[in-house]
Amino acid sequence: MLFRNIRYFIREGFSNLARNRLMTIASITSVMAALVILGMFLLIILNVNHMAYQVESQLELKAFLKDGLTEEEINKIGEEIKSIDGVSSVVFESKEQALEKFKKQLGEKSYLLEGLEKDNPLPQSYIIKVKDANLIKNVADDIKGIKGIEQVSYGQDVVEKLLAIIRVVRIAGLAIISILFVISIVIISNTIKLGVFARRREINIMKYIGATDWFIRWPFLIEGVVLGLLGALLSVAVLALMYGYTLDYVSNRLVVFDLLPLSAIIKDMALYFAVIGALIGAVGSGLSIKRFLNV
């Protein structure tokens, strides 16, 4: 009996889609449009977050050592820095390495540094990276307290402003995504409601002949899930085409940053959008039919 009912609900759900083609197309288009807009902002936020992560991963401190330290003292300082909470890597840079790096930075004007090999004025240092960019100030303060450290540099003003901008972008992104998600639910629910309203007489007749609320409700819920899934899958296809084109266009023009590859996000997006679309379709149908069940 249960299996027969399930077959009936599924058959009726798909029959309703076929009988009401215009509302079916309108609902699918509504779901697709809402999720495309949501997906566009989601892709922007994901890439901004990815760029922010790239910037954060490149942030580093430079701890300059005092002159005259023995090798044992230098190694001891390195061990103390490694033991600081939040430090992810510590690399020693000798005077010679610092001079070579400076020459590379000067490029064609590296000849200005000729003759400094014998009397190198550049200090030895440790280059430190942290696990979390927000810990950079605390780590710098801890390093300053180590005996043998001359100075710690990490561009404090620039780094703090950069981290503040990154925080604002992430918070604003979450707020925009949340607002668009709510708007999508409202738009899709109202579109489905129009379809249910057009068949209110059919619902009333079923109620009068003794059909239970859930017997009436199930075909509409299945119909809503199918509409949501179809709209979600179409939106993912549209977003994949748009993002693929954007990726080809922008990647050749961005020198500093890399965009997220399509393969890294499309599978998760398809799964999440399918779940969101099905959920919104089911909820939209359930809420829309509720008022017509109170006969």
Domains of the chain, earliest start first: 2-55+162-293 (no CATH), 60-153 (3.30.70.3040)
d(CA 70, CA 47): 47
Task: State the average pLDDT over residues 85-112.
Answer: 74
- pLDDT-derived band of residue 134, with 50, 70 and 90 as boundaries? confident
pLDDT score of 55 more than 80: no
For residue 203, the model assigns a pLDDT of: 73
Nearest to 247 by CA among 34, 35, 41, 43: 43
| 215: pLDDT strictly greater than 70 | yes
- Report the range out of 42-46, 89-93, 163-167, 189-193 with the highest average pLDDT: 89-93
- Phi, then psi, of 229 in degrees rounded to 5: -65, -45
Whether 289 contacts 196, CB under 8 Å:
yes
Q: Tell me what pLDDT residue 238 has.
A: 92
pTM of the model: 0.65
pLDDT at 17: 67
Closest to 240 in 3D by CA, of 211, 225, 261, 209? 261
pLDDT of residue 279: 82
pLDDT, mean of residues 240-266: 77
pLDDT more than 70, % of the chain: 77
